Structure 1
Amino acid sequence: MTDLPPPITPYLEPAAKELSEATDPHPRIYEVPPEKGRDILLGLQSDQSVPRPEVDEEWVDVDAGEWGTVRTRIIRPKGATGPLPVVFYIHGAGWVFGDDKTHDRLFRELAVGAGAAGVFPVYDRAPEAKYPTQVEQNYAVGQWVLQHGAEHGLDTSRIAVTGESVGGCMSAVFALMNKERGGIDLKAQVLLYPVADADFDTPSYLQFAEGYYLTRDAMKWFWDAYTTDPAQRAEVHASPLQASLDQLRGLPTTLVITDEADVLRDEGEQYANRLREAGVDVTSVRVAGMVHDFLLLDSLRDTRAANVARKLAVDALRAALHDD
């Protein structure tokens, strides 16, 4: 048997290479206390000169029962009237970092670009809150939208879910939970370089373990903050790649976008393959020359990769939410 050739070494876009080199020195964001790490990410995302669509916004507090109260942001394109379809956005950043401020630009771009309102649950972060708190809170906000969205100008018959990284994981789980429990009839899920499993030994994990912004050790740390229990990690609501074909059948039209130099690349593409095997209408796109978080980070916003991937995501959401 002929040995397989070695994997291709990515040639990164200049901005991605610069980011990878800048974030390589210690201490890394996961090597400092969570509050300091949150401040670091907020600082990276606080450049007010970066353009973002204008919106009208409101805030609501959603009662999630035993899971607490979830502060939730609702945005609409500036001056928009009448019921609007909904982009339900679940943010990433390792379950530990990120919030409505760090993800503000991308949230606006996806919702406004799709001609939709946006709903953003500010779920409780790890390690203060452990799995399954986050996915239960997201589901509760989805149920609130279904029951009360019309009072806030939301068309609850046209909802799509999207998220990046662990937000992509929880978006996939959100779709699974709505199928299992009943609730939102989602029109689409758009999963941006998602976490899909707690397996740190895939080829992409091994190839990109160091030197490409998101490291293997970082993902181990994020998972430990979320749950250290192997049985919980194997649950479908934590690792959607563990779902059976029966559980995946009937899920909404799906777009999965991965990036070349990312430890998470293979599991995202494996999840797309499983969806396809289950008969789901799925498209999977790998963006070359790019690293994790390229759609989120302001420093990578104007790269060729981000421009193309953002358009793909917006077009997929718009097509799913509008009949024309």
Structure 2
Amino acid sequence: MRSSLVLLTALVALAAYYIYIPLPSSVSDPWKLMLLDATFRGAQQLSNLIHYLGLSHHLIALNFIIISFGKKNALSSAQVKVRDTAFDGVEVRVFEGSPKPDEPLRRSIVYIHGGGWALASAKIKYYDELCMAMAEDLNAVIVSIEYRLVPQVYFPEQIHDVVRATKYFLQPEVLQQYHVDPGRIGISGDSAGGNLAAVLAQQFSQDASVRNKLKLQALIYPVLQALDFNTPSYQQNVNTPILPRYVMAKYWVDYFKGDYDFVQAMVVNNHTALDVSEAAAFRAYLNWTSLLPASITKNYKPVVQTMGNARIIKELPQLLDARSSPLIADQEVLQHLPKTYILTCEHDVLRDDGIMYAKRLVNAGVDVTLDHFEDGFHGCMIFTSWPTNFSVGVRTRYSYIKWLDQNL
């Protein structure tokens, strides 16, 4: 009996040691976030073991675990009709809200899920529930794109998928089939999906073949650049769940099918050092000392290396491509973008990507709403149902859908 008690105490202590991480007091539901983070870290470590044993690629294994916990069939409700189909060969899940009697044509959002270009699905419960809520609350048609993921495909194939599916949907005959108003269509996405949504908006604003222009874009804690991993938010939240800096850098390298040996050099900005001439032209677009307010920059200092690793940019020129980093797009591109909503969270390495993009868009004359949550963390908006229900998740979702309702 005594030995069992000792063993139980040891196991509890070990679990507490694994779960506990120091978190700011201002973050939403800190103990619940610790448990969520510990679960995700455990899944990552298991997938890395599977990779090490040669059984599967670690991202395929990790995505299998994620989808196994939450995949949902296309289930309709009294208010929303749901079905899986394909737009120009790209899988999509379509959510059709009930039309209003006085509005025969509905508004619509094309939604792109997050997951580091490698994880998650339009068919897992978190995104299914989000799109169901959007379709019902907005009486809208929501097209959630099931784009291909790393390591099946790499940059820019994910972009090609969302462009193809969206162009197909924007055809007059398809909009007519779904009873969608061609003048009330927006693009949206979270995290890596926010990156793809921003890229798509930039491309469509310049594409003369796209007759039905997007009315708005709504970006949820978007990934927007890979040239500076030492913005104030990257420095402040270097080890904050659910997206530590090192993990974000690895997602970028995975997206470009790069060498993991580059990751450590990138997190100290060796890829954009002063002696890396290719990066010089883009530094002005990422000068956060001028793009961020003093309340954000505080006492943080820019990390600019004198001597770096020019091999990284030579082998991964995608780092300097605005199709991967929409924050570095030319001003002439930004000025043609539609009304924009950007949601950022204080406890997120990507906070400053969103704030800098908002500033650049405002400077270009775009109507921008920046919606910041002081207790938010990366990914919080999809966590609204038990057991991963966070108060900030409910509030961010409400604020996001309210803005869409007022502006679409």
TM-score by length of 1: 0.85
Give how far 1:53 is off. 8.7
Higher helix share: 2
Unpaired runs of 5+ residues, structure 1, are 1-7, 64-68
Q: What residue in structure 1 maps to residue 163 of structure 2? A: 139
Provide closer, same or farther for how the CA distance between residues 288 and 43 of structure 1 changes in structure 2, counting only shifts above 3 A: farther
Q: What residue in structure 2 maps to residue 99 of structure 1? A: 121
Provide closer, same or farther for how the CA distance between residues 111 and 29 of structure 1 changes in structure 2, counting only shifts above 3 A: farther
Partner SS state of residue 295, structure 1: helix
In the TM superposition, 1:1-324 aligns within 5 A as 9=24, 11-14=26-29, 15-24=32-41, 27-28=44-45, 31=48, 33-45=58-70, 54-63=79-88, 69-77=89-97, 82-102=104-124, 103-147=127-171, 148-182=174-208, 183=210, 184-198=212-226, 199-227=228-256, 228=258, 230-297=316-383, 298=385, 302-321=389-408
Give how far 1:307 is off. 2.1
Give how far 1:160 is off. 0.8
Provide closer, same or farther for how the CA distance between residues 277 and 30 of structure 1 changes in structure 2, counting only shifts above 3 A: farther
Partner SS state of residue 96, structure 2: strand
Query: What is the CA deviation profile of residues 220-254 of structure 1, one whole-angstrom value per residue up to 9, with x for unaligned ones?
Result: 22112211353212211111101111110021111
Provide closer, same or farther for how the CA distance between residues 262 and 187 of structure 1 changes in structure 2, counting only shifts above 3 A: same
Query: What is the CA deviation profile of residues 110-154 of structure 1, one whole-angstrom value per residue up to 9, with x for unaligned ones?
Result: 233222111112111112111111112111111111112212322
Give how far 1:304 is off. 2.7
Partner SS state of residue 309, structure 1: helix
The letter of the residue matching 2:328 is: Q
Worse overlay, 9-18 or 120-129 = 9-18
CA distance in 2, matches of 1:29, 1:284: 38
CA root-mean-square deviation: 2.6
Larger Rg: 2
Worse overlay, 210-219 or 247-256 = 210-219
The letter of the residue matching 1:262 is: D
Kept in 1: contact 2:346–2:376 (CA 8 A): yes
The letter of the residue matching 2:186 is: A
CA distance in 1, matches of 2:65, 2:154: 22
Unpaired runs of 5+ residues, structure 2, are 1-22, 52-57, 259-314
Kept in 1: contact 2:148–2:158 (CA 8 A): yes
Worse overlay, 295-304 or 148-157 = 295-304
Q: What residue in structure 1 maps to residue 284 of structure 2? A: none
CA distance in 2, matches of 1:312, 1:73: 24
TM-score by length of 2: 0.69
Provide closer, same or farther for how the CA distance between residues 29 and 122 of structure 1 changes in structure 2, counting only shifts above 3 A: farther
CA distance in 2, matches of 1:204, 1:318: 30
Query: What is the CA deviation profile of residues 27-63 of structure 1, one whole-angstrom value per residue up to 9, with x for unaligned ones?
Result: 4487462222112322454599xxx995212333222
CA distance in 1, matches of 2:231, 2:123: 33
The letter of the residue matching 2:219 is: L
CA distance in 2, matches of 1:205, 1:29: 26
The letter of the residue matching 1:88 is: V
Give how far 1:273 is off. 1.0
Q: What residue in structure 2 maps to residue 5 of structure 1? A: none
Partner SS state of residue 95, structure 1: coil
- Greater RCO (CA < 8 Å, at least 6 residues apart): 1
Q: What residue in structure 1 maps to residue 8 of structure 2? A: none
Give how far 1:77 is off. 1.9
Give how far 1:317 is off. 1.3
Identity %: 28
CA distance in 2, matches of 1:238, 1:30: 26
The letter of the residue matching 1:39 is: F
The letter of the residue matching 1:145 is: F
Provide closer, same or farther for how the CA distance between residues 83 and 70 of structure 1 changes in structure 2, counting only shifts above 3 A: same
Higher strand share: 1
